[in-house]
A and B are shown apart, each in its own frame.
Chain A
């Protein structure tokens, strides 16, 4: 992949929970948590050799990525998250420098190659009041500051690039992320509709945490360890308490899916002019779609509605965590070929 030997294509998925990078010259996709934890260096002196961290010019210390999440859980602290609801967080704007180093680290060494990168952006939310413009430009500046040519691509379109090559890039891509859910309808590679809703995994975790008087971090942790939506139950050690959490998580997953389907129908009816005669697939992706049984639940709920288009199948992306990054890499390589 890559038109010339001296170019490097990169796909960078900028998610609320994870940063994911794919490169044209590597078979590995790298993933890290999009979080950091500000700590007093003295508190972690004996752990320093084992963790990734950033040292600021004034001696400030930030544990970054997955390690930050582990240490926050250990200390009962809340991690700093540079993004909220799919967009750069206004509360953590000072973290742009830390975020830049995290991205630089994730992309890795590029040598003397000219680097082209497509990075993911959400669509404007139908139920949110924040613009994507600021977010898009912050990441453009971050990539520019580390010498990378960049282009912003809608993250749900990236799913279609990654998963719908067999259908000539026609389909509906849905990314159920942590901060929001992104939806794109494409026909033969052309974007027909994109939009997002401000509900995702965090929305589920926050409401479950509120209902059960828990810290959201703890709900996220239980969700990722035990959550299954296919009827099988894995309760772990603390059975009674976990059962309540998992039951609440199930109802909020159903509510999220229902809300997303209703919005797809509404937006399609209001904004899509083209007639799609062919049956098209729905590809579900994103970290929130990871629990076993999610696609089955989505299909069952979809069957309760009359849709304005024909569906060939509902399927999960081959890897929901890396599909956006893979699609962005495909788009970057296609753009390089067309240069």
Chain B
């Protein structure tokens, strides 16, 4: 198996990925459709194990990007179609008879409604290009750490220790003994 940034290896294998880029590695495994793996993270005595499903939560960002590109194309296509229809309508010979004026007004109103509906349904605030730029900016903003960093430096806790307390249940030691035997 070859993963970018790692030496090729034969599966099943335990591989040290601490020097690789975790996003690239997980992404590559996904592309290769490999779902049977675990990533073990150890740090100062604590160990955490991550499985493929743990990385599913980062997918919506990717999905969102793909999904949000579609409305642009769809919108452009619909506007082009409407433009064509309006042009064809304008090329038609002008007939000033009252019946035809009424008909044309109705058609124009329908076009106007369709354009407004298209814009409303596709949730577009500005022009097509402006909206695409907005989506790109949003996607870049989303590249934040999955788990928030904890930074309590500079924060002070005042008057601590005023908690409601109740007495602990007796028999916890015996229960722990019994449970440790069952879990062995």
B14 CB contacts on chain A under 8 angstroms: none
Select the stretch in A96-104, A193-201, A262-270, A284-292 that faces chain B: A96-104
Q: Chain A contact residues (Cβ within 8 angstroms of B): what range?
A: 35 or more
Q: Chain B contact residues (Cβ within 8 angstroms of A): what range?
A: 35 or more
B105 CB contacts on chain A under 8 angstroms: none
B62: interface (CB < 8 Å):
no
| Residues A333 and B166 in contact, CB atoms below 8 Å apart | no
Contacts between chains A and B (CB distance < 8 A), count: 159
| Residues A96 and B172 in contact, CB atoms below 8 Å apart | no
Contact with B along A18-48 (1 / 0, CB 8 A): 0000100011111110000000000000001
Select the stretch in B73-81, B88-96, B108-116, B147-155 that faces chain A: B147-155
Would you list which residues of chain B between 131 and 184 have a CB under 8 Å from chain A? Answer: 146-148, 150-169, 171-180, 182-184
| Residues B167 and A28 in contact, CB atoms below 8 Å apart | yes
Q: A97-B155, A322-B169, A329-B172 are in contact. Are A31 and B161 (CB under 8 A)?
A: no
Which has the most chain A C-beta neighbours within 10 Å: B43, B46, B180? B180
B169 CB contacts on chain A under 8 angstroms: 162, 318-319, 322, 326
| A326 and B151 alpha carbons, distance in the complex (Å) | 29
Would you list which residues of chain A between 309 and 323 have a CB under 8 Å from chain B? Answer: 318-319, 321-322
Would you list which residues of chain A between 89 and 146 have a CB under 8 Å from chain B? Answer: 93-94, 96-98, 100-101, 104-106, 108, 131, 133-134, 137-138, 140-142, 144-145
A55: interface (CB < 8 Å):
yes
Q: Which residue of A100, A322, A334 contacts B176 across the interface (Cβ within 8 Å)?
A: A334
B155 CB contacts on chain A under 8 angstroms: 54-57, 97-98, 101
Which has the most chain A C-beta neighbours within 10 Å: B154, B160, B182? B160
Q: Which residue of A30, A53, A131, A137 contacts B164 across the interface (Cβ within 8 Å)?
A: A30
| Residues B168 and A169 in contact, CB atoms below 8 Å apart | no
| Residues A333 and B167 in contact, CB atoms below 8 Å apart | no
B56 CB contacts on chain A under 8 angstroms: 131
| Residues B165 and A29 in contact, CB atoms below 8 Å apart | yes
| A322 and B153 alpha carbons, distance in the complex (Å) | 31
| Residues A133 and B54 in contact, CB atoms below 8 Å apart | yes
A223: interface (CB < 8 Å):
no
* Nearest Cβ on chain A to B81's Cβ, whole angstroms: 37
| Residues B179 and A105 in contact, CB atoms below 8 Å apart | no
* Nearest Cβ on chain B to A170's Cβ, whole angstroms: 10
| A188 and B178 alpha carbons, distance in the complex (Å) | 11
| A145 and B179 alpha carbons, distance in the complex (Å) | 29
B70: interface (CB < 8 Å):
no
| A196 and B165 alpha carbons, distance in the complex (Å) | 28
| A106 and B165 alpha carbons, distance in the complex (Å) | 11
B159 CB contacts on chain A under 8 angstroms: 48-53
Q: Which residue of B46, B162, B166, B172 contacts A1 across the interface (Cβ within 8 Å)?
A: B172
Contact with B along A51-69 (1 / 0, CB 8 A): 1111111000000111100
| Residues B172 and A97 in contact, CB atoms below 8 Å apart | no
List residues of A whose CB falls within 8 A of some B CB. Answer: 1, 22, 26-32, 48-57, 64-67, 93-94, 96-98, 100-101, 104-106, 108, 131, 133-134, 137-138, 140-142, 144-145, 149-150, 161-162, 165, 168-169, 188-189, 318-319, 321-322, 326, 329-331, 333-335, 337-338
User: What are 16 sample pairs from A and B whose C-beta atoms fall under 8 A apart?
Assistant: A1-B173, A28-B166, A28-B167, A29-B168, A30-B164, A54-B156, A96-B150, A97-B151, A104-B152, A133-B57, A134-B146, A144-B46, A322-B168, A335-B183, A337-B177, A338-B184
Which 4 pairs between the two chains have the least Cβ-Cβ distance? A57-B154, A333-B176, A189-B182, A334-B180
